[in-house]
């Protein structure tokens, strides 16, 4: 694993990737094989848009399968029973006060493979995630986000 990137995953994230991989390998591969077969029946492949589209879709599916397999092969699962509410770590949920807007925010710190800011899941490598790691309740961090300096206070660490 020396040249491979390590992927930190929660148990939920690991299960989601495994389910997606299963779906791609069992259902999506079969669906795309059918599309290719149907498109071949249209005749001349050199001017067959349906065939080209199906082959492109197949390549995307195979690329995603390889990416997920690589992530799972190089995954480090975050053990929830080892999380503590003393310090922010990967897998912890953090309640913050955005001091610039006097607004409470809640984020779960996850590895890059699970990051989804719309769902409140920020990467441990994002500016905010990186600034929060190791912090305790009451700590204040300043983070450069876009072209602004934002200030956050850790209100609660939920594990």
Let me know: does 131 contact 114? Beta carbons within 8 Å. no
- Residue 23 falls inside a structural domain: yes
Measure the CA–CA gap between 69 and 144, rounded to whole angstroms: 34
What per-residue confidence (pLDDT) applies to 90?
Answer: 93
Residue where one domain finishes, among candidates 77, 93, 123: 77
Dihedral over alpha carbons 159, 114, 4, 70 (to 10 degrees): 120
**87-135 pLDDT tens trace:** 999 999 999 999 999 999 999 999 999 999 999 999 999 999 999 999 9
67 and 91 fall within a common domain: no
Answer whether 0.85 is exceeded by the pTM.
no
Alpha-carbon distances, residue 86 vs 134, 139, 155 (angstroms): 9, 11, 12
- Residue 58 falls inside a structural domain: yes
Among 153, 8, 7, 156, residue whose Cα is nearest residue 90: 8
25 and 44 fall within a common domain: yes
Higher-confidence position of 49 and 4: 49
- Tell me whether residue 129 is exposed, middle or buried, using C-beta atoms within 10 angstroms of its C-beta: 0 to 12, 13 to 18, 19 or more: buried
């Amino acid at each position: 694993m020396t040249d491979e990137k390590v992927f930190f995953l929660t148990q939920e994230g690991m299960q989601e990737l495994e389910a997606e991989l299963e779906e791609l390998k069992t259902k999506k591969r079969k669906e795309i094989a059918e599309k290719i077969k149907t498109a071949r029946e249209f005749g001349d492949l050199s001017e067959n848009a349906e065939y080209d589209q199906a082959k492109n879709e197949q390549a995307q599916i195979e690329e995603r399968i390889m990416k997920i397999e690589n992530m799972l092969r190089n995954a480090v699962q975050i053990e929830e029973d080892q999380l503590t509410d003393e310090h922010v770590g990967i897998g912890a949920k953090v309640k913050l006060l955005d001091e610039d807007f006097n607004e409470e925010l809640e984020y779960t710190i996850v590895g890059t493979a699970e990051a989804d800011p719309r769902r409140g899941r920020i990467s441990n490598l994002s500016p905010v995630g990186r600034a929060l790691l190791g912090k305790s309740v009451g700590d204040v961090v300043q983070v450069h986000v876009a072209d602004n300096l934002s200030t956050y206070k850790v209100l609660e660490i939920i594990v």
